[in-house]
Structure 1
Amino acid sequence: MKNERGFTLVEVLASLVILSIVLMSFMAVFANTNRMAVNNSEKLVIINLADAYLERIKINPTEFIGKTPPTMMNCPPPETVKKCATITVSPATLPINGKSYSVTIQLKQDTNEKSLFLLNTVVTVRSPDKKVSSSVEGYVSYGK
């Protein structure tokens, strides 16, 4: 029996323990990578939604803001005031991929002559769980 070569039970168990530790570390890396990919995908969807919503507002502002911009209705005559306060248009929800993203539009308007019909618009989109959000800012022409 002394001449027979092979592995003892202790050696086999030690190798199984080492192999399982290595495999569990790889599984943790794969799980973390998958979680990061899902989060990045969610962020990308939110960024694209905010950008697309702002572009839709630029194309047809009356659909989202109304016939008269709320900032113009709430401001005194342009000669007496420098700036109007920020107005938030009531939030909306966008159902996409089985999730409802909330969209908030904030409007701000300078009342000097050059920018009387330009609305500084900030579109904020939030994920359903409110963990991820993105904002896009741009100017919407509210023509004469």
Structure 2
Amino acid sequence: MLERFKKEEGFTLIEVLAAMLIVSIVALAFTAYFSNALTFAKSNQNQTIMSNLARNALVYMQKQDFVRLKEYFGSGSATVVKAGNGLNAQRVGITPETFGTCTNATTGACAFRNMFENGNLQPVMAVLQPTVNGIQYRVVIEYQQSLNRSGDTGGDLLLPISATVTTVSAGAAGPGVDGVTVEGYVNAQSIR
């Protein structure tokens, strides 16, 4: 019986340790891969949220008073989103700060608060400053004057705008997700 045990061969300690080393190196490589995949999935999720918030803002703006919105963008009271220079015209829009200080004021941008239903600014502030999954976002509505058409091609019936969503805290949406912009039009009431 002892002779039978002596003839059986198994793995030596060095062979077992070498196999464990190889398995751990492969497992480490897979761990790094899954960590990168998780980061990528999270940034995609945040980018999708930002796209949905931008679409939500566009839909909200499409339901507002077209005439008053057009008057606001054409007025000197419109919030400057990007300053112009010799080549590019100044770009105007609506930011969370545009109506943030309006109480009962009827001057400046506050004079246009009636473009929103009953002059109620709470819904527009909720659209422009949403918080999703603990991340606070900032939405800027911009009038795209360069895309505006002439009156004979329907320009007086469509108002080109874009909604740009960014996070309030830089990098909160994950690596590589700086902002999302979605473009659309506000239709005149006559063609809605």
- Alpha-carbon distance change, 111 to 34 in structure 1, aligned in 2, over 3 angstroms: closer
Residue pairs, 1:1-144, within 5 angstroms: 3-61=7-65, 69-74=71-76, 85-91=90-96, 92-109=128-145, 110=148, 112-114=150-152, 115-128=155-168, 129=170, 131-143=177-189
Hey, what's the Cα distance between the residues in 2 that align with 1:18 and 1:111?
Answer: 66
TM-score by length of 1: 0.75
Tell me if structure 2 keeps the 8 A contact 1:85–1:108: no
TM-score, normalisation: structure 2 = 0.58
Match of 2:103 in 1: none
- Bigger relative contact order, structure 1 or 2 (CA pairs below 8 A, ≥6 apart): 2
Matches of 2:17 and 2:47, distance apart in 1: 45
8 Å contact kept, 2:70–2:159: no
More helix by share: 2
Secondary structure in structure 1 of the residue aligned to 2:165: strand
Shift in Å at residue 29 of structure 1? 1.9
CA distance in 2, matches of 1:60, 1:21: 60
What is the RMSD of the two structures over their aligned residues, measured on CA atoms? 2.8
Quick one: structure 1 residues 9 and 45, their matched pair in 2 at CA, closer, same or farther if it must change by over 3 Å? same
Could you say what secondary structure the match of 1:69 adopts?
A: helix
1:97, CA displacement in angstroms? Answer: 2.0
Whole-Å Cα distance in 2 between the matches of residues 97 and 66 of structure 1? 34
Distance 1:98 1:31 in 2: 22
Unaligned 5+ runs, structure 2:
77-88, 97-127, 172-176
CA distance in 2, matches of 1:111, 1:32: 45
Cα contact 1:89–1:105 (8 A) shared by 2: yes
Give the number of the structure whose residues are more often strand, by fraction. 1
- What letter corresponds to residue 127 of structure 1 in structure 2? T
Question: Hey, what's the Cα distance between the residues in 2 that align with 1:51 and 1:21?
Answer: 45
Seen in structure 2, the aligned counterparts of structure 1 residues 21 and 61 have a Cα distance that, compared at 3 Å, is farther
What letter is aligned with 1:87? V
| Distance 1:88-1:34 versus aligned 2 partners, 3 A rule | same
